[in-house]
Amino acid sequence: VRRNPGEAEFHQAVREVLESLGPVVSKRPEYGEMGIIPRICEPNKQIIFKVNWQDDRGRVHTNRGFRVQFNSALGPYKGGLRFHPSVYLGIIKFLGFEQIFKNALTGMPIGGGKGGSDFDPKGKSDNEIMRFCQSFMTELAGHIGHDIDVPAGDIGVGTREIGYMFGQYKKLTGRYESGVLTGKGLDWGGSRARTEATGYGTVFFAEEMLKLTGESFDGKKVVVSGSGNVALYALEKVNQLGGTVVAMSDSSGYIVDEKGIDLAQMQELKETRRGRIGEYAEANASARFVPQGMIWDVPCEIALPCATQNELNIGGARALIANGCTLVAEGANMPSTPDAIRAFRANDVRFAPGKAANAGGVATSALEMQQNASRDSWSFEHTEERLHDIMVGIHERCWATAEEYGAPGDYVLGANIAGFIRMADTMMALGVI
Ligand code: NDP
């Protein structure tokens, strides 16, 4: 805490991982001797830069940009860029730290990193977004590359923003280096199923959890928080598997529709018009909008938090438990607070942490890198099948590791230990560098 002052989210993420590692460190004392834990907690590089950009009226604004290159033992740094006013170093470091373990869990050759800016894309014109992305990339370009560091999207960064950044990178370097960013459009090197991957992957992971008790999504009531990239495609996959999503949210509040939220309407509202969630209720008599309310008050059997960190606190956990929720799988990064997770454990609510359940996004980004490297383009079905296999594999790894370390069903412990062992063994093999 003294070494990283004021970085509350980073402390929270590190504490959660370290709390799980006791059994593995006592079993493998060489990890301690080789200083693996302090080495994992310290980013390899932290780049902070100024981003000046001009709005449509010609006024100049200054934002702060970040790229934290956390660990590259397993491959090039890999992780998204977040544009949101809440971004500061502590958020980027927590996300980068989580990313190391998540990427290790996928079994793919990708290191961990994260970046972003305190720029607020809300209410900005398309031209303002473009100018900001170009300025951001002007500063970042010298630090990334397909063998060095491969950023992607996150909150506030989708295909449009990746496009403007890719265009600027191409202009600055004079190279068509497809593999330098993932989350690209399908016409210019993107992968089919990448847009859907995080949401689909979260639902695939939850499906594996349900299978253990002979259950499925069929007929289940589901609450999905958020209404961005992850939430929309979680909604789609839940629908495909026969479940009903009865509530979704954004930062203005939540909507409830017991008939089930309509995907096409929600896509049009959020992806095309970039509107507010209350507009869904204005257009649907069966839906109601609750401004600034807590979405976890809506009764459900399965909860998928897909918005942002610490959105599901102890109050939310208690409400879910009281209403009979039996499974929580995190589509977002660290959406549940530590006391919420303790409450789930104490009440036998099956709980999947984001670093396992939402790893489908980065895994499919790694598939995009493979396609770029071979100048290939796979079908949607093939890519989705690979994603499904990867999620089944991550679930198995977490489950088996938790059992091996005497905590059957504890996906937090399973994910942290399984990710850590792959990292630690690789760092040992590469020596003290
Ligand atoms: P988007 O920007 O597409 O959507 C974010 C959603 O969350 C929006 O509905 C937004 O509402 C809501 N939200 C964001 N911040 C807050 C807040 N402070 N309070 C309430 N609601 C908020 O982002 P993504 O869907 O891509 O990301 C969602 C989560 O999933 C993040 O935690 C991200 O790190 C994680 N994730 C994303 C991956 C991806 O592939 N995209 C991969 C793995 C994890 P509003 O529009 O009102 O701000």
Does residue 357 have its Cβ closer than 6 Å to ligand 1? no
Residue 82, strand partner residues: 116
Catalytic residue (one of 27, 45, 50, 114): 114
Question: If you ran DSSP here, which 8-state letter would residue 270 be given?
Answer: I
pTM higher than 0.95, yes or no? yes
Alpha helices in 289-379 (DSSP H): 314-322, 338-346, 354-357, 360-373
Which superfamily, per CATH, for 43-189?
Answer: Leucine Dehydrogenase, chain A, domain 1 (3.40.50.10860)
Binding residues for NAD(+), by number, are 198, 229
Tell me which residue has its CA closest to atom 32 in ligand 1.
Answer: 332
What's the Cα-to-Cα distance from 218 to each of 214, 230, 241, 411, rounded to whole Å?
12, 21, 6, 23
Domains 43-189 and 195-357 share a fold: yes
- Of ligand 1's listed atoms, the one at least distance from the Cα of 197 is 40
Does residue 182 have its Cβ closer than 6 Å to ligand 1? no
Instruction: Tell which phi-psi region holds residue 251, choosing left (phi > 0), alpha (psi between -120 and 50) or beta.
Output: alpha
Binding residues for substrate, by number, are 78, 99, 102, 153, 365
Give me the residue spans of the domains in the chain: 43-189, 195-357
Size of the chain in residues = 433
Does residue 228 have its Cβ closer than 6 Å to ligand 1? yes
Q: How far is CA 154 from the centre of its chain?
A: 7
Does residue 226 have its Cβ closer than 6 Å to ligand 1? yes
Distance from Cα 82 to the centre of ligand 1, integer Å:
9
Contact between 99 and 362 under an 8 Å Cβ cutoff? The reply is yes
Contact between 286 and 257 under an 8 Å Cβ cutoff? The reply is yes
- Of ligand 1's listed atoms, the one at least distance from the Cα of 158 is 3
Distance from Cα 233 to the centre of ligand 1, integer Å:
12
Tell me which residue has its CA closest to atom 23 in ligand 1.
Answer: 155
Q: Which CATH number fits domain 195-357: 3.40.50.720, 3.40.605.10, 3.50.50.60, 3.60.15.30?
A: 3.40.50.720
Binding residues, by number, are 78, 99, 102, 153, 198, 229, 365
Burial 248-264 (b: 16+ CB within 10 A, else e): bbbeebbbbbeebbbbe
Residue 243 backbone dihedrals phi, psi, to 5 degrees: -90, 175
Does residue 96 have its Cβ closer than 6 Å to ligand 1? no
Angle at 232 between CA 229 and CA 235, to 5 degrees: 145
Does residue 230 have its Cβ closer than 6 Å to ligand 1? yes
User: What is the C-alpha separation between 57 and 75, in angstroms, rounded?
Assistant: 43
Residue matched to tokens 């491959």: 75
Residue 371 backbone dihedrals phi, psi, to 5 degrees: -65, -40
- Of ligand 1's listed atoms, the one at least distance from the Cα of 249 is 9
Does residue 201 have its Cβ closer than 6 Å to ligand 1? no
| Helix, strand, coil % in the chain, rounded to nearest 5 | 50, 20, 35
Reading the chain (433 residues) residue by residue, the pLDDT tens digits are 889 999 999 999 999 999 999 999 999 999 999 999 999 999 999 999 999 999 999 999 999 999 999 999 999 999 999 999 999 999 999 999 999 999 999 999 999 999 999 999 999 999 999 999 999 999 999 999 999 999 999 999 999 999 999 999 999 999 999 999 999 999 999 999 999 999 999 999 999 999 999 999 999 999 999 999 999 999 999 999 999 999 999 999 999 999 999 999 999 999 999 999 999 999 999 999 999 999 999 999 999 999 999 999 999 999 999 999 999 999 999 999 999 999 999 999 999 999 999 999 999 999 999 999 999 999 999 999 999 999 999 999 999 999 999 999 999 999 999 999 999 999 999 999 8
Strand order, beta sheet including 112-117:
45-54, 60-71, 112-117, 77-83, 149-152
User: What is the C-alpha separation between 65 and 82, in angstroms, rounded?
Assistant: 10
Q: What is the CA radius of gyration of the chain?
A: 21
Distance from Cα 228 to the centre of ligand 1, integer Å:
6
114 is catalytic: yes
